[in-house]
């Protein structure tokens, strides 16, 4: 188990809901299963909350890159994917979003249409953005060219929903870096808010 922005997919959410339903039918108050579902719903909103705490509730005029759309790496499956809730939240707050996922972009495009910019690569997704949100822990996102990222991004700000980067590495780079359940790195980095 790794800290992150919640689980998704077709099996685990369905199985947890089935346990809750069975318990309800048997008049059993299965508190643990209820809490698992509640915490997962909260986790899916945590990255959006971090972004809004940093930039404010109104995200109009800001552009965000999102690396990863599938609920887990090595799949195009977006069923119950945390990325979808995050996209809705950011769009509702007025943000523009540039996305890249090695497999799942066509599936997201069927749902979101032209409300997003679908990048041809992970670095193209970063062009002119105010922040990067790492949503799915694809292996190609683990060792990026940070110098290339710095040049492409308007502001050097990363919100890592999967803790793919070591804090020690991020401390040596000019990025504001906020991850899950760990300290914020370079909290005083000059980012134009």
**Adjacency order of strands within the sheet including 157-160:** 117-118, 96-100, 63-67, 131-134, 157-160, 176-178
Using one digit for the tens of pLDDT, what is the confidence trace for 137-193?
999 999 999 999 999 999 999 999 999 999 999 999 999 999 998 999 987 665 554
pLDDT value at residue 10: 61
Using one digit for the tens of pLDDT, what is the confidence trace for 59-76?
999 999 999 999 999 999
Using one digit for the tens of pLDDT, what is the confidence trace for 111-129?
999 999 999 999 999 999 9
Q: How confident is the model at residue 44 (pLDDT cuts 50, 70, 90)?
A: low
Q: Is 157 a catalytic residue?
A: no
The answer to whether the beta carbons of residues 171 and 135 sit under 8 Å apart is: no
Per-residue CA distances from 116 to 64, 100, 111, 142, 189 (Å): 10, 10, 11, 24, 28
What is the pTM (predicted TM-score) of this model?
Answer: 0.84
In the numeric block, the tokens 């300290």 are attached to 183
pLDDT value at residue 4: 73
Domains of the chain: 11-178 (3.40.50.720)
Residue 46's H or E segment, with its range, is helix 31-55
pLDDT value at residue 46: 85
Among 3, 11, 151, 183, the active-site one is 11
Q: How far apart are the first and last CA of the chain?
A: 34
């Amino acid at each position: 188990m790794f800290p992150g922005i919640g689980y998704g997919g077709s099996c685990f959410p369905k199985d947890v809901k089935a346990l809750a339903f069975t318990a309800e039918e048997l008049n059993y108050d299965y508190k643990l299963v209820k809490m698992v579902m509640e915490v997962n719903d909260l986790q899916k909103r945590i990255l959006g909350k971090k972004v809004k705490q940093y930039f404010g509730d109104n995200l109009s005029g800001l552009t965000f890159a999102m690396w990863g759309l599938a609920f887990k790496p090595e799949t195009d499956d977006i069923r119950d994917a945390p990325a979808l809730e995050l996209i809705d939240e950011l769009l509702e707050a007025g943000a523009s979003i540039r996305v890249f996922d090695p497999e799942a972009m066509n599936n997201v495009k069927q749902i979101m249409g032209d409300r997003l910019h679908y990048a041809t690569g992970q670095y193209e997704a970063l062009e002119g953005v105010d922040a990067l949100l790492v949503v799915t822990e694809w292996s190609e996102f683990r060792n990026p060219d940070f110098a290339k990222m710095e040049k492409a991004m308007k502001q050097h700000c990363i919100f890592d929903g999967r803790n793919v980067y070591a804090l020690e590495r991020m401390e040596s780079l000019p990025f504001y870096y906020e991850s899950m359940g760990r300290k914020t790195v370079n909290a005083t980095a000059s980012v134009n808010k």
